[in-house]
Structure 1
Amino acid sequence: MKTYDFICIGGGSAGFNAARLAASYGKKVAVVDGAKQLGGLCILRGCMPSKTLIYAGEIMHHATHAARFGIKVGRVSADMKAMHVRKKRIIADFADYREQALKSGRFDLHQAYATFIDSHTIQLSNGEVLKGKHFLIGTGSKVSVPDIPGLKETKTWTSDEVLDLDFVPKSVIVLGGGIVATELAQFLNRIGSEVTLIQRSTHVLREHAADSAKVIEQAFRDEGIEVITDTKLTSISSGKGGVAVKFEQAGKSSIRRAAHLFNALGREPATDKLGLAAAGVKADDKGQIKINRWQQTSVPHIYAAGDCSGPVEIVHIAIAQAEVATRHAFRRKEAKPVDYSQLLHVVFTDPQLATIGLDEKKLKERGVKYLSASYPFNDHGKSILMEANYGYVRVFAEPKRGRILGAEIVGKDAGELIHCFSTPITMRATVRDMLRAPWYHPTLAEIITYPLEEIAEKLPRRKPAR
């Protein structure tokens, strides 16, 4: 039986980075991962393949609508086999790099699944038994299948199948309105599928502001996606012709039919086979592991990070959490909890939606006084000439000095533009600090200066220097 200072269960973003850091401290470390292909969700079935295909869909969309720029283009169609081959080639490079890092010899790699026997011992699916002084659980998440009549019995796609398509589906019903649902619904529409998106909440992307979600919904409808919100799904059935989804909306029963059904109703922690109870680790009824600010579970020497523990499913947060856990486990002085007040989100729809820091909902919930200002893309020079007229930039700042509290951008390249606020928020800078910096004209980034200027005008006047 082998004994380790630190055992990471899961070799994705959380587990790999925790193992890397622990090994740098000179600790004896193991990574346990039973997946057929190493690399983790982000590389293999999440961020990287989806963004590869989404960008290809964006290129196709621009080619299809080139006439508005005065450019003549012939018939545009998606070569899905070529798109699929390109995606596999790109992802293989990332996956190979991660696999080499996992097999570099800095720590032991056990390619098997783990189940806790007790709080210091795990049984592997290959028969081995390992003991650990500390553990990091980073097993990620899996697709959720809600209790909707007929859903479990119906053949559905998950994001895995959509990302592996090598043909253009005739028609698809997308269940859900979260990040995965919206990003891939637009991709499917842009490659030529007839898409219907059915969302249970009052608007898509329900974790975000209704104003920004409405912009996305309008853009989708303008592109030909049928967006149906505020529904109750009542039944799902399938037959030779495809699938049928029945739902209620505003007290009226409706039905939609399509060749394929894409279940994008969310994900849940992949913790059900870990034997958490045997280790004494507590989780909620959905399997999400309960943690404190140091990423410790109910058993202090067992930590958790990433999708399996939340509170958000974002790669850079999973890495930060894993590093916090590792530093805390080995009593490093630099250990500090993750600061969620600087939380950064990006949704890769077109227009993109991005936020950083505190949004209006959180500010109101916390009773924080603030000033806000916004400016629309359809009144900004660079976005107008780019035909990028959807959306706005909104900034939140405290009312005395103008310190930046948060920002919200929905519009062209919002995921890139939001990083203009990353350093200022981290440095606790003010709107006046940001306005002291040069902003080139004409650029998309220049639009940020307009809400900053509006807030600056609302701030108390500075006393003149003597």
Structure 2
Amino acid sequence: MPVHDIDVAIIGAGTAGLSARSEVAKRTDNYRVFDPGPLGTTCARVGCMPSKAFVQSAYDFHRRFHFDQLGIIGAGGLSARGGAILAEARLLRDRFVAGVLKDMEPWRKTHLVPHAPRFTPEGTLSAGQREFRAGATIIATGTRPLVPSDWRAACGDRILTTDDFFELEDLPRRIAIVGLGPIGLELGQALGRLGVEVTGFDLSRNLGGVSDPALLDRVIEAMRSEFRIVFSAAKPVRGPGGVSMKWEGGETMVDYVLVAIGRQPNLGDLGLEQIGLELCKNGRPELDETRLKVPGHEIYLAGDVTGLRPLLHEAADEGRIAGYNAVRGEDAQFRRRTQMRITFTDPQIAEIGESWRDLASREAEIAVGAASFQAQGRALLARTAAGAIRVYAEKSTAKLLGVAMFAPAAEHMAHLFAYALEQRATLPELLRTPFYHPTYEEALRTALRGALAESVVKAQPLEEIRCEDAPVEAGLACD
């Protein structure tokens, strides 16, 4: 078969692949994007968007418990229709997927190869009935849910992942969630609030990826008030009434088992061994996250498949980096943006910059400031009084290093801290900014001031008095 020479091959039309294509197209029209479908990005189809639609319904339904306090009568008559909630999540999902497909229209017919490619021993890519020789290749094939084979054999069609959860016609009466990272925690709380009997399992106590012990205790306490959590390994046994989940000291029967223990890279079917590309123990090649080029090959990785920063905005950045380097034949080094991770529980979990896990080995050098939202003015008014914030700074310079939050509206406050970290801000500089009353952000001032008190750097007297709380505020200490 004839071989078609192209400048760049992009394998995968998800967020990273589409971002890479945009960068490549600035320099050449001689490229191809390979993807057998379904198209529409993981985020839009089965990830961020349908899950947040589902979580929003659960959050709004849960608000009914505050209605009497707010003078809104009749909450006892409200009910949640699981099938309708799932249908609405799919409707919004389809809208976002349609938006992605519409953006692909200008180049889809001419540059998309709707087949899964595979490397040949000659280094070309075989796709369908065609063969391509690329000057550089970008692999942006994403990941898929990890499900142990013995679990799938034991549970059969009672196993769920986020790839098929939103296709349910109705909510189950009982469900087990295995893995309480961000995804498991979000769906566990949401399902519990919609009336599903939820049992969550995790071998680690780091719910939602939280590493700060002081914050983690609050997260565990709050989540345990919403659904049962078991910190133990469980074994599924299929029975006539569903699946029996057995662990040391307990057993429960469920209708479905939602597995959220992680994801694995989609690299196994590419034929990488044909071109001598070796994979590490994690199933991925060695990679520098600031360049994304595989040493010794004209191959770049981008997006979730790298295993570096599995978040949409990071995948978009990595696609741009890989596209820039691949189309130019360069190995340019990029500075990555401040890391920011958000879990959409209630309260929300957010980590910005360096986490406590990153800083624990330097504990003596780190100034920590804290504040609670349990008696914070705006939180009390909004009936969202729960959670806390922890601020980390360098004692010797008062430079902000990172922030961890379990707080209402954390998604918005997280961005403020991300901006501050990008600007290399210090605690005194942040405390010079205004804090409006009454807002959640007033708690940030308390935490910043607490971290400054532990640092060597001190604010000037006239600046220090401006940092004090207004007399009407009280109870912000992290209890």
Give ranges in structure 1 of 5+ residues lacking alignment: none
Give the Cα separation in 1 of the matches to 2:120 and 2:79. Answer: 54
Deviations for 1:245-266, whole angstroms, at most 9, x for unmatched residues?
1223xxxx42221122111222
Partner of 1:237: 237
The residue identity in structure 2 corresponding to 1:241 is G
Deviation at 1:332, TM superposition (A): 8.7
Deviations for 1:165-207, whole angstroms, at most 9, x for unmatched residues?
3312111111111111111111211221110101111342346
SS in 1 for 2:211: coil
Is 1:402 matched up with 2:405? Answer: no
Deviation at 1:405, TM superposition (A): 0.7
SS in 2 for 1:434: helix
Deviations for 1:277-305, whole angstroms, at most 9, x for unmatched residues?
11222223342333123101244310001
Deviation at 1:380, TM superposition (A): 1.2
Is 1:364 matched up with 2:360? Answer: yes
SS in 1 for 2:247: strand
Deviation at 1:104, TM superposition (A): 1.2
Residues 176 and 324 of structure 1: is their aligned pair in 2 closer, same or farther, counting only changes over 3 Å?
same
Deviations for 1:349-403, whole angstroms, at most 9, x for unmatched residues?
1111001111222123467822111101113111122222221111111123311
Contact preservation (8 Å) 1:142, 1:270: yes
Give ranges in structure 2 of 5+ residues lacking alignment: 463-479
Is 1:246 matched up with 2:246? Answer: yes
Q: Which moved more, 1:164-173 or 1:453-462?
A: 453-462
The residue identity in structure 2 corresponding to 1:427 is Q
Partner of 1:323: 320
Deviation at 1:83, TM superposition (A): 2.4
Q: CA RMSD in A?
A: 2.4
SS in 2 for 1:448: helix
Matches within 5 A, 1:12-411: 12-35=14-37, 37-72=38-73, 73-105=75-107, 108-118=111-121, 120-124=123-127, 126-146=128-148, 150-155=151-156, 156-206=159-209, 208-223=211-226, 225-229=227-231, 231-233=232-234, 235-248=235-248, 253-292=249-288, 293-331=290-328, 335-339=332-336, 342-365=338-361, 369-411=365-407
Deviation at 1:10, TM superposition (A): 0.5
Contact preservation (8 Å) 1:17, 1:322: yes
Give the Cα separation in 2 of the matches to 1:196 and 1:312. Answer: 28
SS in 2 for 1:77: coil
Residues 376 and 425 of structure 1: is their aligned pair in 2 closer, same or farther, counting only changes over 3 Å?
same
SS in 2 for 1:205: helix
Partner of 1:439: 435
Contact preservation (8 Å) 2:138, 2:326: no
The residue identity in structure 2 corresponding to 1:373 is G
Residues 384 and 462 of structure 1: is their aligned pair in 2 closer, same or farther, counting only changes over 3 Å?
closer
Contact preservation (8 Å) 2:208, 2:349: no
Deviation at 1:43, TM superposition (A): 0.8
Contact preservation (8 Å) 1:121, 1:129: yes
Deviation at 1:61, TM superposition (A): 0.8
Give the Cα separation in 1 of the matches to 2:335 and 2:104. Answer: 25
The residue identity in structure 2 corresponding to 1:374 is A
The residue identity in structure 2 corresponding to 1:176 is G
Residues 329 and 286 of structure 1: is their aligned pair in 2 closer, same or farther, counting only changes over 3 Å?
same
In the superposition, the TM-score normalised over structure 1's length comes to 0.91
SS in 2 for 1:407: strand
Contact preservation (8 Å) 2:350, 2:406: yes
Deviation at 1:65, TM superposition (A): 4.2
Deviation at 1:421, TM superposition (A): 0.7
Give the Cα separation in 2 of the matches to 1:119 and 1:77. Answer: 62
Give the Cα separation in 2 of the matches to 1:382 and 1:162. Answer: 36
Residues 299 and 127 of structure 1: is their aligned pair in 2 closer, same or farther, counting only changes over 3 Å?
farther
Residues 71 and 416 of structure 1: is their aligned pair in 2 closer, same or farther, counting only changes over 3 Å?
same
Deviation at 1:25, TM superposition (A): 2.0
Contact preservation (8 Å) 2:392, 2:400: yes
Partner of 1:413: 409
**How many residue pairs get matched?**
454
Residues 463 and 95 of structure 1: is their aligned pair in 2 closer, same or farther, counting only changes over 3 Å?
closer
SS in 1 for 2:120: strand
Deviation at 1:86, TM superposition (A): 2.5
Residues 206 and 453 of structure 1: is their aligned pair in 2 closer, same or farther, counting only changes over 3 Å?
closer
Deviation at 1:87, TM superposition (A): 2.3
Q: Which moved more, 1:434-443 or 1:57-66?
A: 57-66
Residues 325 and 312 of structure 1: is their aligned pair in 2 closer, same or farther, counting only changes over 3 Å?
same
Give the Cα separation in 2 of the matches to 1:90 and 1:144. Answer: 26
The residue identity in structure 2 corresponding to 1:398 is E
Give the Cα separation in 2 of the matches to 1:261 and 1:299. Answer: 43
The residue identity in structure 1 corresponding to 2:12 is G
In the superposition, the TM-score normalised over structure 2's length comes to 0.89
Give the Cα separation in 1 of the matches to 2:102 and 2:121. Answer: 31
Residues 80 and 207 of structure 1: is their aligned pair in 2 closer, same or farther, counting only changes over 3 Å?
same
Contact preservation (8 Å) 2:178, 2:257: yes
Deviation at 1:120, TM superposition (A): 3.8
Deviation at 1:333, TM superposition (A): 9.1
Percent identical pairs in the alignment equals 26
Deviation at 1:434, TM superposition (A): 1.2
